[in-house]
Structure 1
Amino acid sequence: MSQFKALLVSKREEGGQTAEIVELSDSDLMEGDVTVAVEWSTVNYKDGLAVTGKAPVVRRWPMVPGIDFAGRVESSTHPDWKAGDNVILNGWGVGETHWGGYGGKARVKGDWLVPLPDGMTSQQAMAIGTAGYTAMLCVMALEQHGLKPGAGDILVTGAAGGVGSVAVALLAGLGYRVLASTGRPQEADYLKSLGAADIIDRSELSGPGKPLAKERWAGAVDSVGSHTLANALAQTRYGGVVAACGLAQGMDLPASVAPFILRGVTLAGIDSVMAPQAKRREAWTRLARDLDHGKLAAITQTATLEDVPRLASEILAGQVRGRVTVKVG
């Protein structure tokens, strides 16, 4: 029975948790109808929480974290998949309640997988990862609520992070004028290289604000939450749309109903974990078509499983720019 390397997170008897590289075998894998030889994974904000234990993301112990992976089907009893198929997985509780992408193999439900788009490599898929897939879901939500290029500026908060970087590149590539909000002024040139037209300092949005403020943008993609999301809503133009997908600043929303009942603003919630298959496939098809893969490569760094614990701490501290791909298999 083949052995493979994995990052395993375990609880300590005295409290806290450990994260260590171990050797596992096929018999250790969890139940599922498809076994995938994992080639690449990535590091998302949620992965940082899981590996460090800063939030109770892991709900089954021990756990192989990693909410994303891309690889090749090794064996399958699921009707949609056969050995040799190239697949992607995002979410579905993988890396939280089901062993995930930080191992050389994963056994999962075939219903959780989507095909790797034509012309995209497994590494490119993980350079996108849940962060980029979530950004695409946000863009789709703005479009579905009627926002088109030319409607006005689109704000992207947490713009130097994974979701933000891909959102800036996607929106700019589609013809929108993008305002990038970041707390890292040194990243201004980086964000403009992705297509941002202007940079907003995070401090303009991160403190308590007015229930309703001057109209500044037609829509927004927010991965931050808390006061930032409240201020983004308060400054959205009449009939605008804000897609909310994250909580880097906090889970609270200290806002009022004023933007909704006085300006007809829409707050669109974006869930990437349990999104239905049709929406997932559409998002990945759009990412293959609409995302500039040259820009994607420019915002991506490559790491190993051994690097993940360090990167987990760094991403929570806001020290990771863009995307990280993790070579697994």
Structure 2
Amino acid sequence: MTAESRLLSLLGMLAVGRTYSATELAAHFGVTPRSIRRDIASLRELGYVIESIPGAAGGYRAHSRTVLPPLQLETGEALATAVGLALLNGAGLGTENADSATAKLRAMLPPAVRETVGEISTSVSVLPGHEPGVDMTAVMTTTSAIASRNILTFTHEKRKATGSETLQRRVEPVQMVVLGAHWYLYAWDLNRSDWRVFRLDRMSQVHETTFAFTARDHPDAEAAVSSAVTTAAYRHTVILDVDASVTEAKSWFPTRSATITKTGGGARVEFGVEDLTWAAVITAATPVSFRVVEPPELLSALQGLGERATRVSRSGSSRAE
């Protein structure tokens, strides 16, 4: 490999956001750490911002705003990228950078393909009031911190029945999870010394620090977010065992509102509610046999619902005779 080819490959490795030590890079390219240091110096002379991270877990990393050399994309690759940007804009998550990138990519495409991308960009829209409300700068900063294993700081709005409060957070970010209409961050909260779930649209002043952290063993991020959103946030947790497959159960209890797992004889459904009367309605509408595991108070709510339904079926009115 020539020195020029090594520089381009080195830049590509660093630009993904991961931190590499000189020893790692030297082993990868089959050169000495001294050669890597010279390559880093050459990239800096060319204007690329390469950060040096101190400490045992430190090394080199390209700055998040480094401008990369022009990508050589095949037609299919350019089309896939342009379609992704068009869908991003259509979903209400566009940015000025996405617009300019789309314009450059469309200019690369053959006329027929360029027209297809233009049609896609106008065929996706979001109804007013249903925009994700996610700041893409915050998304990019958060994903960079996750990839680099750097501590993330931000201001988070916590909403309660009595109002809301804004708190400063300092976390070790693990993963972003999209559930339903919202984006969530799963992270180790250094202030609380515990795992926490944060909604991205309630995060502001998001900042990636230069303080690296060592990854911890952690629960499954998707399961943790699902549990936090579908059960932990509510007064009552309803647990049902249904005589159906997980796939069938998902058609009655969407995963954005319930956690569904496989059991020996069917599926277990867990969801949170504030009002057990409403839970009784949802439960009674389940079209297969089921058993109430928790809470026992749901049985009383189901009995009350049954009596009410009986009155309506007999007289057409829910009023007691």
Length-normalised TM-score, structure 1:
0.27
| Structure with the higher fraction of residues in helix conformation | 2
Length-normalised TM-score, structure 2:
0.27
Higher relative contact order (CA 8 A, sep 6+): 1
The higher radius of gyration belongs to: 2
